[in-house]
Structure 1
Amino acid sequence: MSANAPRILIAAGGTGGHLIPALHVARAMREINPHCKILFLGSGRPLERKLIPEAGFELEVVELRAVKGMGGVGAMKFLLSLPASISKIKAILKDFKPSVILGMGGYVSFLPVTLARLRGIPAWIHEAEWHPGLANGVLATYASRISVVFPGAGLSKLKKALVTGHPVRSDLGDVAAQPVPGVISKILLIGGSQGAQALDSAMLKLAPFLKTRGIKLRHQCRSESRAALEEGYARAEFDAEISEFITDMKEAYAWCDLVISRAGASAIMEIEAINKPAILIPYPYAQAGHQLVNARYLQQQGKALIVEEGHGFEEELKQAISKLLVPSQYADIKVKESAKRTVRAAEVIAKGCFELASAAASRI
């Protein structure tokens, strides 16, 4: 590795919504500059320990906790763990000597980015939602650059902000170029990690209906839900393909005619990139209702229906699916074009981080 190669510390994890986009950026960095050194800093959740090494990157684990929503016992544990966490992050910064730190939002990024800035290290943070969370709301005041997903989002008004879209696989645009059939026969359900039990329960109740309509289903779920789903679908004699994690999202998106999903930023940007119809079910407890705002972004383009959780949720979901099973209704939503948003967000953020590193090096 070149002695002048940039060294990038990426603070990301906690959930797939923060981690997977970070991996897209890391891959883009490696493609642009194969000599760069990349180190992930995470909280040690199983998803981090699995995906980061599988992608060929190193991971340092620090005990990091979400502050919001913790009770008295949680707050005490947080305070007791704080000195050790700060000490370890300082040691990582000293040993790794990052040229720049990339924070992907959430509690995992707050302490590392803050301590890096105190050492004079440039910081790029990424905000995926319309309104910043607690961590990015503070970090935005002293971050060097900020990337945001949506035009008009709260942080986009800052001079140091850049609207990039959200990092997704660069080859998802290939799916949009494929012909879409005139009727729905294959549904992809992406359960996500938050509040997925409601989606699981609804789909089990709708299994007999889907079976009578000849629908094939791929259902991505949490590991703790898999056994119950397999048992429920078997009882309904409905042949659904269940998986805990979809490794090849491009293949899954290419396979389906309709996506049913939560409305996190990653899901919205991926659905927009593949240009396929969707039924969006916003997570009702998301901060500031941001998933409902995200869902309306695609709804306003005519590319999605929204079904909100609450009384009669299963029936409303059934009605939404039934509506799109009518060929004329499906054709109406199918032919609308998604916004021509670039799928190069990962590349833009990667190049931006390298530019920060280069500018910092030139001042030494």
Structure 2
Amino acid sequence: MDNYRFILSGGGTGGHIYPAVAIANELKKRHPNAQFLFVGAKDKMEMEKVPQAGYEIKGLWISGIQRKMTLKNLMFPFKVISSLLASRKILKQFKPHVAIGTGGFASGPLLKMAASSGIPCVLQEQNSFAGITNKLLASKAQKICVAYDGMERFFPKEKVVKTGNPIRMNLEDIQVNKKEALEFFALEGEKKTVLVLGGSLGARRINQLIEKELDFFEKMGLQVLWQCGKLYHEEYKKYESGSVKVLAFINKMDLAYSAADVIISRAGAGSVSELCLVGKPVVFIPSPNVAEDHQTKNALALVSEKAALMMRESELDGHFEDMFTQLMGSKERQLELGQNIKKLAMPKATQHIVDEIEKLLK
């Protein structure tokens, strides 16, 4: 039988949406006649991103709980009830063989209703510190695919499978010629390149740091490939020069990684998994504004393996230049970080997750 039906839910951020799309793509490759339906939150980015990837999506009236007491929080119980009822209706109509949740509040009502309807459920947790939705759903799931060791702290041990995180593209061998990559971005061959990544929208604090340190990089003889994010491009494009390239967004990530000697990045789960495959020295500057501070925990998981460096936003002004000077002054340290981060790579993550899903197909 090949006409399976798969329902997938996860959203709110790219970190939950992208893995769901990658899993669907791999399932589709193996089961070309299968049907797919995504379920997301009505006003969130999945409503745009999922159709762009070629899949149908239905939206629920749901949102997370605000940390402060707000009117939105008073609406929360009504949103939950509305979303549970809508989910039940969607499941009755679509009759999926398996439900897959990749985290984010939108996946909560759907997976809860799927489990109570006897539909096998698979969860995928990207972070080293599990999200609230997946923790609440764990007792109902058949399998929980994770990317870090020690996730038994959050989930029943017998359900946990370490698969790694799906990544955006085929980075398994970034054998792109470095010379070609430098030419693509109009960078010089003699200088070392610092690649700066703040996520697709950008990261204000990282951008402020780079702006402040441009003279410092210049003195060190470094050139900068700076993805400042589309929210900040207008503000920072004035710094474009022979040795500083300022881009809203980088479409050719394989070329950017190939050009880089050192990378400064946020520590979202997808970025961390990608950078493990890249195998270059990384300085993580985690975003402090995410649920349960999970970016810091993701970065610390690598720091403890001597596979990356980390600086908190609060430490940047006093310590960044010292730390960076030490890193750039030691070839051995750069080599050690690059080799250790590469050891943590799990390039076949998507295939392993889909192997687990296929075990549940009746």
- Same-fold call, TM > 0.5? yes
Higher alpha-carbon deviation: 123-132 or 109-118: 123-132
* Local SS of the residue matching 2:139: coil
8 Å CA contact 2:286, 2:296 repeated in 1? yes
- The residue aligned with 1:303 is 307
Q: Does the residue aligned with 1:224 lie in a helix, a strand or coil? A: coil
- Is residue 146 of structure 1 aligned with residue 147 of structure 2? no
CA spacing shift, 1:331–1:201, aligned 2, 3 Å: closer
Deviations 1:13-41 (A, max 9, x none): 10011111222212211222222212221
Aligned mate of 2:288, from 284, 288, 298: 284
Residue 109 of structure 1: aligned partner: 107
Moved segments of 4+, more than 6 Å: 176-184
After superposition, what is the alpha-carbon deviation per residue over 1:145-199, rounded to whole angstroms, capped at 9, x for unaligned? 1111112122465201111111114621202797899986222222137992111
- Residues 307, 320 of structure 1: 8 Å contact kept: no
Q: Is the 8 A contact 1:103 1:123 kept in 2?
A: yes
What do residues 128-158 of structure 1 show as CA deviations (whole Å, max 9, x unaligned)?
A: 2233222111100111211111121224652
Separation in 2, partners of 1:284, 1:320: 20
Give the conservation status (yes or no) of the 8 Å contact 2:38–2:57.
yes
Write the letter of the residue equivalent to 1:151: D
1:1-364 equivalence runs, <5 A: 4-45=2-43, 47-153=45-151, 154-155=153-154, 158-169=157-168, 171-175=170-174, 185-192=192-199, 196-231=203-238, 233=239, 239-244=244-249, 246-311=250-315, 313-326=316-329, 328=331, 331-333=334-336, 336-337=339-340, 338-339=342-343, 341-356=345-360, 358-359=361-362
2:308–2:337 CA contact under 8 A, matched in 1 = no
The one-letter code matched in structure 1 to 2:19 is P
Q: TM-score, normalised on structure 1?
A: 0.85
Q: What is the alpha-carbon distance in structure 1 between the residues aligned to residue 155 and residue 60 of structure 2?
A: 30
Percent same amino acid at aligned positions? Answer: 27
**Superposition RMSD on alpha carbons, in Å?**
3.0
3-state SS, counterpart of residue 225 of structure 2: strand
* More off after superposition, 257-266 vs 159-168: 257-266
Flag the structure with more relative contact order, 1 or 2, with Cα contacts below 8 A and sequence separation at least 6.
1
Which amino acid letter does the alignment assign opposite residue 328 of structure 1?
K
Query: AA paired with 1:275?
Result: G
Q: Distance in 1 between matches of 2:68 and 2:254?
A: 37
**Distance between the aligned counterparts of 2:223 and 2:46, measured in 1?**
31
Specify the SS of the correspondent of 2:118. Answer: coil
**Alignment partner of 1:347: what SS?**
helix
The 10-residue stretch of structure 1 (140-149 or 185-194) with the greater mean CA deviation from structure 2: 185-194
3-state SS of paired residue (1:34): coil
Residue 285 of structure 1 and its aligned partner are, at CA, apart by: 4.3
Q: 1:111 to 1:247 in 2, by over 3 A?
A: farther
Q: How does the TM-score come out when normalised to structure 2?
A: 0.86
Larger mean CA deviation between 258-267 and 9-18 belongs to 258-267
Partners of 1:148 and 1:155 within 8 A in 2: no
Q: Which moved more, 1:140-149 or 1:30-39?
A: 30-39
> Would the aligned equivalents of 1:8 and 1:99 in 2 still touch at CA under 8 Å?
yes
Q: Deviations over 1:46-79 (max 9, x none)?
A: 6324432222222222222012525231112323
Aligned length: 352
Residues 119-128 or 289-298, more deviating: 289-298
Answer whether contact 1:29 1:351 (CA < 8 A) is retained. Answer: no
Are 1:127 and 1:136, in contact at CA under 8 Å, matched by a contact in 2? yes
Structure 1 unmatched ranges of 5 or more = 360-364
Q: Is the 8 A contact 1:184 1:324 kept in 2?
A: no
Where do 5+ consecutive residues of structure 2 fail to align? 183-188
Q: Measure, in 1, the Cα distance between the counterparts of 2:296 and 2:89.
A: 41
Contact 1:25/1:346 (8 A) holds in 2: yes
Q: Is the contact between residue 202 and residue 231 of structure 2 (CA under 8 Å) also seen in structure 1?
A: no
Residue aligned with 2:314, SS: coil
